[in-house]
Amino acid sequence: MDTRIDIRKLSLKEVEEFFATLGEARFRAKQVYEWLWKKSAISFSDMTNLSKKLREQLETHFIINAIQEDKVQRSSDGTIKSRFKLHDGHFIESVLIPVPDDRRFTACVSSQVGCSLTCKFCATGQMKRLRNLDAAEIYDQVVKVNQQSLESFGHPLTNIVYMGMGEPLLAYRPVMQSIEHLTSPQGLDMSAKRITVSTAGIAKMIKKLADDNSKVNLALSLHAADDKKRNEIMPINEQNNLEALADALDYFYQKTKNRITFEYIAFQRFNDGIEDAKKLVKLCRRVPARVNIIEYNPIDGADFQKSDAHRIDTFAQYLRDHRVAVTVRKSRGKDIDAACGQLANKN
């Protein structure tokens, strides 16, 4: 059994301490950190500005548990879904969502193996949560999907959304560490304003995100502006009701001024009527948020139907008439089960 430590779990200070035990200069640690987080090296042999002896010493003490591409599916609309194998044999999925006409190339990344929230409309919610991903496993997804974007479209990623498998705010520490590596000048130097963290609604963690002065955007998977309906489809709402969430979201906005989005999947004759729209308008009066209306993507074992186009248009127009910013989004990658709510590690 390999007992070496994954070097990417160590802080820069801890790597510096390791080199000190070897009698090496502290700047060596910064060189290693640059290879790991700026150049995305997955082998010590790549670190060519280190001596061969130092690289061998690193190899003796440490390992780099990079994710491995296991399966890639390409949709007719250009969407690419990838399944990655982790060092312990678990699998996760990531999605590249290209919109070349708008020059938007988005990576949808996972934060957990499975999920514990059991949302009734979500395939991942039917899985058990096996563990949180670590920061490097999240970072690796971005690197891999960025490579796909460059190879397939000749364009780097423009956006990152934490909307894949799992609840990001229940994997808070590795998610925030991954964002640090993605946005730091010592890492990939991406803009935090191009990153969105999506949550099913963990009020205390939304406030923590605000207290930590995060620069990322926040999306709430809302799907009903009514506690009774939301309890029915999202059990997490029983401990984090709309009153608590509205308070937390307002707190987040007042402290950060970062953008908030309500993600709203439209289910036929469940949450897509005018009364539902009225409740959503009321919530948007309380929380300065824009609304993304998303068509439902059927999954096995869920008794929901997607709203028809007329009902969605009527719903959206009511929001616009009441000065709510709204976008109706067409699902992408449906033919490869890569659309919202469909990630489930199918073989």
pLDDT of residue 126: 78
Residues 6+ apart with CB under 8 A from 321: none
Express each pLDDT in 150-173 by its tens digit: 999 999 999 999 999 999 999 999
CB contact at 8 A, 224 and 267: no
Cβ atoms of 219 and 261 within 8 Å: the answer is yes
Classify residue 290: in a domain, yes or no. yes
Give the domain extent around 29. Answer: 5-63
End-to-end CA distance of the chain: 28
* Domain-located, residue 342: no
Q: How far apart are CA 161 and CA 59, in angstroms?
A: 34
Cα–Cα distances (Å) from 198 to 85, 234, 259, 312, in that order, read 23, 15, 12, 22
> Quick check: is 344 in a domain?
no
pLDDT tens-digit readout, 228-248: 999 999 999 999 999 999 999
Length of the chain, in residues: 347
Residues with Cβ within 8 Å of 51's Cβ and at least 6 positions away in sequence, in order, are none
Tell whether 133 and 118 lie within a shared domain. yes
Are 86 and 23 part of one and the same domain? no
Q: State the residue for tokens 């506690």.
A: 227
Residue 177 lies in a domain: yes
Going along the chain, which residue ranges are E strands? 5-6, 62-63, 68-74, 80-85, 91-99, 104-108, 112-113, 131-132, 159-162, 195-199, 217-221, 260-266, 290-295, 326-329
Q: Does one domain contain both 222 and 276?
A: yes
Residue where a domain terminates, one of 63, 83, 110: 63
Main-chain dihedrals φ then ψ at residue 261, nearest 5 degrees:
-125, 140
Claim to verify: residue 74 and residue 59 sit in the same structural domain: no
The one catalytic residue among 108, 115, 119, 340: 340
Q: What is the distance between the alpha carbons of residues 264 and 132, in angstroms, rounded to a whole number?
A: 26
Residues 14 and 154 in one domain: no
The radius of gyration of the chain's CA atoms, rounded to the nearest angstrom, is 21
Q: 322 falls in which pLDDT band (50, 70, 90)?
A: very high
CB 70 within 8 A of CB 327: no
| Total structural domains within the chain | 2
Please tell me the number of Cα atoms within 13 Å of 278 on its side-chain side: 3
Would you say residue 339 has pLDDT above 70? no
**Is residue 73 located within the same domain as residue 184?**
yes
Q: With CA atoms as reference, report the closest residue to 334 among 144, 25, 76.
A: 76
For residue 276, which amino acid is it? Answer: D
Q: pLDDT of 82-96, one tens digit each?
A: 999 999 999 999 999
Q: Which of 93, 137, 167, 295 is catalytic?
A: 93
pLDDT score for 342:
54
Could you give the CA distance from residue 241 to residue 255 in angstroms, rounded to a whole number?
21
* Domain finish residue from 63, 80, 108: 63
Please say whether the beta carbons of 165 and 92 come within 8 A: yes
Please confirm, yes or no, whether 340 is among the known catalytic residues. Answer: yes
* DSSP secondary structure letter of residue 306: B
Phi, psi of 115 (to 5 degrees): -160, 150
pLDDT in tens, 12-53: 999 999 999 999 999 999 999 999 999 999 999 999 999 999
Query: Coil, strand, or helix at residue 224?
Result: coil
In this structure, is residue 346 part of a structural domain?
no
Q: What is the pTM of this model?
A: 0.94
Q: Is the pLDDT of residue 302 over 80?
A: no
CATH number at residue 30: 1.10.150.530
Q: How far is CA 304 from CA 83, 168, 234, 308, 336, in A?
A: 26, 25, 14, 12, 19
Instruction: Please give the distance of CA 29 from its chain centroid, rounded to a whole number.
Output: 29
pLDDT value of residue 330: 77
Lowest mean pLDDT, pick from 233-237, 259-263, 337-341: 337-341
Q: Is 119 a catalytic residue?
A: no
